[in-house]
DNA sequence: CTGTTAGCGCTTTCAA
DNA sequence: TTGAAAGCGCTAACAG
């Protein structure tokens, strides 16, 4: 069933049918109704390939999600997809491993899909700088700062990770913790981990506290099991710590579980602070004290920036979305009274 | 940059270029190399729209995910997407609300995208039977039984939900629980909830235990907050229950949190059993006793069945994947000793 | 083995 | 307001 068949049954030209289906003004009300009625009768829909071939654009927005099973990124994805559905665009989602090179992938996608724009959920702009700079279409990084790329077409919306992690460490320190271990991502491959670590260090330095990296920093995957394994190792290396700074709620949860299994009560014996502010953090036992990233706002703003730069060719924007600390039950105040 | 430009630069016809790019045998090695070299030089890629328009098929597999933020479905999605990437197909994912009508949506998609096949993660085959029967392309339901549709093109791979929930309830009953509340999905709209409820009832009947639906069944969303709200209501209506049968781990976690907040110790005061066997269940405190669905196998088998029916036009298959009960810490044995 | 050509289904001039 | 016709980039049949 093509536009031709519809035209035949309507006794009109294919041009007319096309005009009706594209809401062009110059069609008489009478013809329009006739065409519409028979279109509805068959549930006819224009062939997307033919249309896009002709129109010479494909209205696709590609979304890269880095780190499968990352709850935070997934909830942002959801928001974005839902929004795109209401727009004349198609979303195409590509899931990547935590340590894949999304920039390389993205360059290929540019050739193959020729998308209008791309969204990177949890990418590493700096790490793959060279490859990202090759990209010529509008892109936005969500959750990672990309200002350093200085590319006119690469925007970003992010939580201030540096400040947030500093704030988080400040909180622990203010509650009297001095011996703090860190469960974080791979500092070689994960940019965001590097930034959060820097924020943590800033806080420690401010308080004139030492940090022995080899002893107190454990590299972990952003996952429950990663956090659990890391916690075990950390406790072995640094048995007298009083608090653990983790770089995600998933790590924090894994760590909690592991420590409970080792009979360390939380927060009585050891305090743990998370990062992300997943809804789960508020249902976990104990409720996690954590940094809340505003994922809905991040997602919405990110998409909006991308749309603006697609439609109005605006320059790159780098936006910071505020975070806040959610006080749960996983951190104990150990200051002497 | 089109096939024409390549042809011009190669001093050959567009047919030859097309042949090279599609690995047709009848091209001299010499020409092939010449074409390939200039294709690589520009990083040229065939226009997908033109190709698919011509080929009259689009190699797309559409995946419906019903119930956004459903962890189990998302992990299946991940497996499927990763696999499809290695095949000459494109996956297109559509997220739907827990109570949307995926069948209607799917029918539209058939017209618009003309996919090779569709996968339904967590659909309701029976509920939208009429609409599903209109679908003429190969489909597979993953996690829901679709045998009753008796449609040659609709397959399914699922856990035996009836048996699993009966098994789960048996477990509670064997541990001495008689007053059992249920936190489940909407029985009007969620088929899988209906089946799990039936399994639960079968177990209760077998043990000659009464079940007062109005008092002991709370309808909930499949989410943490849904489970929490439901638990509160359930306890108010049925304060002397000793165990709660939930239809998902997320509900179970929400319920645990709520009950702890109300100072009911789990499992000391109240036992809770989950469903799904998320990895989180094993990290939650207390570890959840739950039914483990083998999501990786479900996903892999489902995709394989779809591919078979696309390629070899095989008849509908309805496969059951075994479950198993994971013993956690959320159920107490209350039998008198 | 290779070049030419007819469409795939659509949008959009151009004339009428 | 309308129909006819050109052509988007590609594949495959045909002729050489």
Distance from CA of A107 to the nearest CA of B (A): 10
Long-range interactions of A91-94: CB distance < 8 A, separation 24+: A91/A60, A91/A61, A91/A62, A91/A63, A92/A60, A92/A61, A92/A62, A92/A63, A92/B92, A93/A62, A93/A63, A93/A65, A93/B93, A94/A62, A94/A63, A94/A64, A94/A65
pLDDT confidence of residue B88: 81
The tens digit of pLDDT for each residue in B130-183 reads 889 988 889 999 998 888 888 889 999 999 999 999 999 999 999 999 999 999
Q: Which residues of B touch A69 (CB under 8 A)?
A: 74-75, 78
Residue B207: pLDDT over 80: yes
- A-B CB pairs within 8 A amount to 88
Nearest chain B Cα to A253, which residue?
Answer: B283
Instruction: Burial-class residue B113 by CB neighbours within 10 Å (0-12, 13-18, 19+).
Output: buried
State whether the beta carbon of B6 lies below 7 angstroms from any atom of strand C. no
Provide the pLDDT confidence category of residue B259 given band limits of 50, 70 and 90: very high
Helix (H) or strand (E) holding B245: strand B243-246
Nearest nucleotide (CA of B7 to C1'): C3
State whether the beta carbon of A19 lies below 7 angstroms from any atom of strand C. yes
Lowest pLDDT segment from A314-323, B15-24, B286-295: B15-24
pLDDT confidence of residue B210: 93
Cβ–Cβ gap B95/A82 under 8 Å: yes
Cα dihedral across residues A110, B54, B88, B95: positive or negative:
positive
Provide the pLDDT confidence category of residue B96 given band limits of 50, 70 and 90: confident
pLDDT confidence of residue A314: 87
Interface of B with A in 32-61 (CB under 8 A): 43-45, 47-50, 52-53, 58
Tokens of residue B127, six digits: 């509920």
CA distance A52 to B58: 13
CA distance A336 to A255: 26
State whether the beta carbon of B14 lies below 7 angstroms from any atom of strand D. yes
Residue B174: HSE in the Cβ half-sphere, 13 Å Cα cutoff: 7
Cβ–Cβ gap A78/B95 under 8 Å: yes
State whether the beta carbon of A49 lies below 7 angstroms from any atom of strand D. no
Cβ–Cβ gap B285/A52 under 8 Å: no
What is the residue-level pLDDT of chain A in tens, covering all 337 positions?
Answer: 888 888 888 888 898 999 998 888 888 898 888 888 888 888 888 888 888 888 877 788 999 998 767 889 988 998 998 899 888 888 888 888 777 788 988 988 887 788 899 999 988 888 888 889 988 889 999 998 888 888 889 999 999 999 999 999 999 999 999 999 999 999 998 889 999 999 999 999 999 999 999 999 999 999 999 999 999 999 999 999 999 999 999 999 999 999 999 999 999 999 999 999 999 999 999 999 999 999 999 999 999 999 999 888 888 999 999 999 999 999 999 998 7
State whether the beta carbon of A11 lies below 7 angstroms from any atom of strand D. yes
Query: B97 by DSSP, 3-state: which?
Result: coil
Provide the pLDDT confidence category of residue B56 given band limits of 50, 70 and 90: confident
Residue B314: HSE in the Cβ half-sphere, 13 Å Cα cutoff: 13
Nearest chain B Cα to A62, which residue?
Answer: B92
Interface of A with B in 78-107 (CB under 8 A): 78, 81-82, 92-93, 95
pLDDT confidence of residue A236: 97
Query: A325 by DSSP, 3-state: which?
Result: strand
Full strand arrangement of the beta sheet holding B154-159: B90-96, B60-66, B117-121, B139-142, B154-159, B318-321
Residue B58: pLDDT over 80: no
Cβ–Cβ gap B224/A53 under 8 Å: no
Higher pLDDT, B193 or A88: B193
Provide the pLDDT confidence category of residue B124 given band limits of 50, 70 and 90: confident
Strand partners of residue A326: A290
Residue B233: pLDDT over 80: yes
The answer to whether A279 contacts chain B (CB < 8 Å) is yes
Residue B124: HSE in the Cβ half-sphere, 13 Å Cα cutoff: 25
CA distance B123 to B155: 12
Distance from CA of A8 to the nearest CA of B (A): 20
Provide the pLDDT confidence category of residue B86 given band limits of 50, 70 and 90: confident
Q: Which of B81, B95, B285 sits opposite A95 (nearest CB)?
A: B81
CA distance B284 to A228: 12
State whether the beta carbon of A112 lies below 7 angstroms from any atom of strand D. no
Interface of B with A in 205-234 (CB under 8 A): 224-225, 228
- pTM of the full structure: 0.86
Q: Which of A52, A111, A224 sits opposite B280 (nearest CB)?
A: A224
Higher pLDDT, B229 or A110: B229
Q: Which of B45, B82, B257 sits opposite A112 (nearest CB)?
A: B45
Contact indicator for A304, A320 with CB cutoff of 8 Å: no
State whether the beta carbon of B56 lies below 7 angstroms from any atom of strand C. yes
How far, in whole angstroms, is CA B279 from its chain's centroid? Answer: 16
Nearest nucleotide (CA of B55 to C1'): D11
Task: Give B330 CA → D1 C1' in Å.
Answer: 74
Helix intervals (H) in chain B: 3-10, 14-21, 29-42, 48-55, 71-85, 102-113, 129-133, 161-174, 191-206, 213-216, 224-237, 249-261, 295-311
Determine the average pLDDT of the residues in B310-333: 93
Contact indicator for B94, B109 with CB cutoff of 8 Å: yes
Compute how many other C-beta atoms are within 10 angstroms of the C-beta atom of residue A327: 12
Cβ–Cβ gap A283/B82 under 8 Å: no
Q: Which residues of A touch B92 (CB under 8 A)?
A: 92
Task: Give B52 CA → D14 C1' in Å.
Answer: 22
Cβ–Cβ gap A95/B82 under 8 Å: yes
Q: Which residues of A touch B256 (CB under 8 A)?
A: 283, 285
The answer to whether A253 contacts chain B (CB < 8 Å) is yes
Secondary structure tally for chain B: helices H, strands E: 13, 12
pLDDT confidence of residue A220: 96
pLDDT confidence of residue A194: 94
Provide the pLDDT confidence category of residue B94 given band limits of 50, 70 and 90: confident
Q: Which nucleotides of C are covered by protein (CB under 7 A)?
A: 1-5, 7-13
Contact indicator for A119, A64 with CB cutoff of 8 Å: yes
Cβ–Cβ gap A113/B48 under 8 Å: yes
Contact indicator for A246, A193 with CB cutoff of 8 Å: no
Place of tokens 């449609």: B151
Contact indicator for B73, B66 with CB cutoff of 8 Å: yes
Helix intervals (H) in B238-294: 249-261
pLDDT confidence of residue A311: 84
Task: Give A26 CA → C9 C1' in Å.
Answer: 22
State whether the beta carbon of B21 lies below 7 angstroms from any atom of strand D. yes
């Amino acid at each position: 069933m093509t536009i031709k068949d519809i035209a035949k049954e309507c006794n009109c030209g294919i041009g007319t049918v096309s005009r009706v289906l594209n809401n062009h003004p110059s069609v008489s009300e009478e013809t329009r109704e006739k065409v519409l009625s028979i279109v509805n009768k068959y549930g006819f829909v224009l062939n997307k390939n033919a249309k896009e071939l002709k129109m010479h654009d494909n209205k696709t927005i590609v979304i890269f999600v880095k780190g499968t099973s990352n709850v935070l990124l997934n909830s942002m994805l959801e928001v974005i997809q839902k929004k795109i559905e209401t727009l004349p665009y198609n979303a195409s989602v590509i899931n990547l491993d935590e340590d894949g090179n999304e920039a390389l992938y993205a360059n290929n996608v540019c050739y193959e899909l020729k998308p209008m724009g791309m969204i990177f959920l949890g990418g590493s702009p700096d790490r793959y700088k060279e490859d990202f700079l090759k990209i010529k279409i509008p892109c936005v990084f969500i959750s990672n700062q990309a200002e350093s790329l200085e590319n006119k077409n690469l925007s970003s919306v992010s939580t201030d990770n540096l400040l947030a992690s500093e704030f988080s460490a400040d909180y622990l320190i203010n509650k009297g913790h001095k011996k703090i271990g860190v469960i974080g991502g791979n500092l070689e491959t994960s940019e965001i981990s590097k930034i959060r670590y820097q924020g943590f260090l800033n806080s420690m330095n401010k308080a004139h506290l030492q940090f022995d990296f080899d002893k107190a920093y454990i590299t972990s995957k952003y996952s429950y099991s990663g956090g659990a394994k890391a916690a075990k190792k950390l406790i072995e290396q640094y048995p007298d710590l009083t608090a653990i700074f983790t770089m995600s709620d998933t790590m924090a949860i894994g760590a909690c579980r592991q420590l409970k299994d080792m009979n360390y009560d939380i927060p009585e014996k050891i305090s743990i602070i998370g990062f992300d502010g997943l809804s789960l953090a508020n249902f976990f036992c104990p409720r996690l004290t954590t940094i809340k990233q505003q994922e809905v706002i991040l997602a919405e703003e990110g998409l909006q920036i991308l749309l603006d730069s697609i439609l109005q060719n605006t320059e790159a924007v780098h936006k910071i979305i505020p975070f806040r600390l959610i006080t749960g039950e996983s951190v104990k105040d150990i200051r002497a009274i």
